[in-house]
């Protein structure tokens, strides 16, 4: 699945499907039109490998975000993990994936975990009904 929006590409490396989330509009609201973003949906095996290689944690994670340049980044979302965790967060699967996406965007924007990041996330979640 590829979104042909300028500066935004979505790749699904899993057998799961996900539709109905305006990833391109959320990306634009968070990072602007000029930011180049790649969103990749991956399985737990790939997630574990990336998490081990880049964060030193030998386990899959729900989301990873990587800043490549001032105006370029990548987000990897593990759909299997998101599916398992959605109920723990009181969200349906699609809503939780959008929630994770916003979280990753805030990291690409330069935020670290904390109250400022939570406020910025909440603003976007309200804007998009997430």
Please report the pLDDT score of residue 17 as a whole number: 61
Among 60, 73, 69, CA closest to 108: 73
Provide mean pLDDT across the span 15-19: 66
* Structural domains of the chain sorted by starting position, each given as residue range(s) with its CATH number in brackets: 8-128 (3.40.390.30)
Q: Is the pTM of this model over 0.75?
A: yes
What does residue 67 show for φ and ψ, rounded to 5 degrees? -85, 125
**Choice between 27 and 4, residue whose per-residue pLDDT is larger:** 27
pLDDT at 2: 42
């Amino acid at each position: 699945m590829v979104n042909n929006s300028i500066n935004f590409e979505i790749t699904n490396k899993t057998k799961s499907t996900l539709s109905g989330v305006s990833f391109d509009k959320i990306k634009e609201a968070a990072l602007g039109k000029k930011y180049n973003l790649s969103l990749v949906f991956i399985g737990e095996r790939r997630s574990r490998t990336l998490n081990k290689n880049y964060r030193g944690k030998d386990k899959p994670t729900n989301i990873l975000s990587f800043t490549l340049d001032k105006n370029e980044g990548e987000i990897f979302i593990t759909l299997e993990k998101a599916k398992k965790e959605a109920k723990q967060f009181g969200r349906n699967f699609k809503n939780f994936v959008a929630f994770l996406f916003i979280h990753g965007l805030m990291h690409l924007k330069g935020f670290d975990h904390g109250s400022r990041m939570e406020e910025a996330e909440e603003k976007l979640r309200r804007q998009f009904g997430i």
